[in-house]
Amino acid sequence: MIDLPTLERTMEELGQPSYRARQVYEALTKRLATSFADMSELPRSLREELAARLRPCLLEEVETRESPRGSAVKALLRAADGEPVEAVLMTHRRRVTVCVSTQVGCAVRCAFCASGSAGLRRSLSAEEIVDQVLGFMRRAQAQERRVTNVVFMGMGEPFHNYEETLRACRLLNDPGGVGLAARSISVSTAGVVPGIDRLAREALQVNLAVSLHAATDELRSRLVPLNRTYPLATLFAACARYVGRTRRKLMFEYVVLSGVNDTGEQVEGLVRLLKRPLYHLNLIAYNETGGEFARPSLRELTALRAALERRGLSCTVRESPGSEIDAACGQLALPRAGAQ
Ligand code: SF4
């Protein structure tokens, strides 16, 4: 996609009236056009001039994989520099959610996450992030459906790419463009404290989720190495500031690793940390990617949830469709060398 300021600048350089910029912007974001050639509202000469200067789609679709029941679709896309980008579409009753990546790889290197295993290659631009959504909007439209939600929970740490992540949120929220409600957009962080404080000050009502995964510093530093920089006390001080300032609900994501972070000690820690108004815990069963961790059984997951609820925690088990196609949490990964 191309943002409006870039289109306005281009039209000025081409000596075109400024309304042409909005025509193109709306064609890209509302009509979901993929090429200037499709924009019959523009004179042919302008379409050709634009095509010579700008790229309306920054990501090329390489491959899509659909789960057997069709509830998840993973798209492998390629950026102009050849870097692979993954995004997922998840359909659950009336909710159609796109999970976007904000980086190629990830510097956080969580112990259980396929995305972080190769480290960070580069951050994505806001346009590259929005293009992941527009691609799935086209697919949904062809099936007479509509994307209802966007979650920034794919590859990468959104707050390690703060400016572009926020610019992408604003582009998605722009009523003159894509037009998704801010409340339908959720940004997830592994706990980058300066990012949480910055988001609390933004005039943008997007939701925030914190990937917690452990309730003691010892275990969390092993699972989410970022915890050594922002330990639990520092992280939860920022969470309290966020809720105090925004009065918005704060979600905590917890990938359950059988026998590792579902122990009595972790339950006690979770109760201590999360028994607060506006805090909500989402339990997600780990999807095995061939590493050292194991997925909890349904019985283990149910027991964990019951133990937490007995202690008064607000908690749900989040379904993670798409594990069959490596599209679930922690499974978006860079293709292995030579697999592109
Ligand atoms: S879980 Fe998220 S923050 Fe952790 S390595 Fe994976 S992509 Fe990065």
Q: From first to last of the 340 residues of the chain, give the pLDDT tens digit.
A: 999 999 999 999 999 999 999 999 999 999 999 999 999 999 999 999 999 999 999 999 999 999 888 789 999 999 999 999 999 999 988 899 999 999 999 999 999 988 777 899 999 999 999 999 999 999 999 999 999 999 999 999 999 999 999 999 999 999 999 999 999 999 999 999 999 999 999 999 999 999 999 999 999 999 999 999 999 999 999 999 999 999 999 999 999 999 999 999 999 999 999 999 999 999 999 988 778 999 999 999 999 999 999 999 989 998 766 665 555 455 565 443 333 2
What is the distance in A from the centroid of ligand 1 to the CA of 116? 5
Q: What DSSP character marks residue 66?
A: E
Q: Which domains does the chain have, with CATH numbers?
A: 4-53 (1.10.150.530), 60-325 (3.20.20.70)
Whether the full predicted model's pTM is greater than 0.75, yes or no, is yes
Q: What residues act catalytically?
A: 86, 329
Pocket test for ligand 1, best of 99, 101, 102, 110 (most atoms within 8 A of CB): 110
Task: State the closest ligand 1 atom to the C-alpha of 157, by its place in the atom list counted from 1.
Answer: 3
Q: How many Å apart are CA 24 and CA 29, to the nearest integer?
A: 9
pLDDT at 335: 45
pLDDT at 331: 55
Query: What interhelical angle do 162-173 and 193-201 show, nearest 10?
Result: 30
Take residue 146 and report the two structure tokens written for it: 């509509």
Q: Specify whether the CB–CB gap between 172 and 120 falls below 8 A.
A: no
pLDDT at 175: 97
Take residue 287 and report the two structure tokens written for it: 């999807």
Polymer length of the chain: 340
Q: How many Å apart are CA 85 and CA 124, to the nearest integer?
A: 9
CA–CA distances in Å: residue 61 to residues 87, 92, 106, 132, 136: 11, 24, 21, 10, 11
What is the distance in A from the centroid of ligand 1 to the CA of 50? 38
What is the distance in A from the centroid of ligand 1 to the CA of 163? 18
pLDDT at 70: 78
What is the distance in A from the centroid of ligand 1 to the CA of 111? 9
Task: State the closest ligand 1 atom to the C-alpha of 109, by its place in the atom list counted from 1.
Answer: 5
The residues lining ligand 1, judged by C-beta closer than 6 Å to any ligand atom, are 106, 108-110, 113, 115-116, 155-157, 190, 330
pLDDT at 333: 55
pLDDT at 287: 87
Q: Specify whether the CB–CB gap between 87 and 130 falls below 8 A.
A: no
Vertex 103: Cα angle to 33 and 284 (nearest 5): 100
Return all residues near 187 (Cβ < 8 A) that are at least 6 apart.
152, 158, 159, 165, 169, 199, 206, 207, 208, 209
Take residue 211 and report the two structure tokens written for it: 């990937």
